[in-house]
Amino acid sequence: MDGGFMMAREDEAKRQAAVREAAMASIRRKDMAQMAGGHAVMAGLLGFGEAAEGKGLFPKIVHGAKLFCIAFAFLTPNYLVWHVLL
């Protein structure tokens, strides 16, 4: 009776070790995927920054977008004051 109990206990310990290892592998895969996503974002931003500072059509489009954002930031509060208060 004692031998069967010890065998079941060893089998359970092996099963738990396998489950733990699978869980740890899953956590490692998740961490690696998250890091890879961060690297992709940084590579994209660095490429965008280099392309936006050159010569050609793309830098002109980026400059126009910046001017639009600045104009929007200055004009929107004025419009809201006119619309709400006047």
pLDDT score, position 63: 94
Regarding whether 35 and 75 lie in a shared domain, the answer is no
| Separation between Cα atoms, residue 61 and residue 83, nearest integer Å | 31
pLDDT in tens, 5-50: 677 888 888 999 999 999 999 999 999 999 998 899 999 888 888 8
How many structural domains comprise the chain?
A: 2
H helix count then E strand count, the chain: 2, 0
Regarding whether 1 and 32 lie in a shared domain, the answer is yes
Regarding whether 49 and 18 lie in a shared domain, the answer is yes
Regarding whether 40 and 25 lie in a shared domain, the answer is yes
Those residues whose C-beta lies under 8 Å from the C-beta of residue 51, and which sit 6 or more positions away, are: 58, 59
Looking at the whole model, is its pTM more than 0.75?
Answer: no
Regarding whether 46 and 60 lie in a shared domain, the answer is no
| Separation between Cα atoms, residue 71 and residue 67, nearest integer Å | 6
Tell me which H or E stretch contains 56.
Answer: none
Regarding whether 65 and 42 lie in a shared domain, the answer is no
pLDDT score, position 10: 87
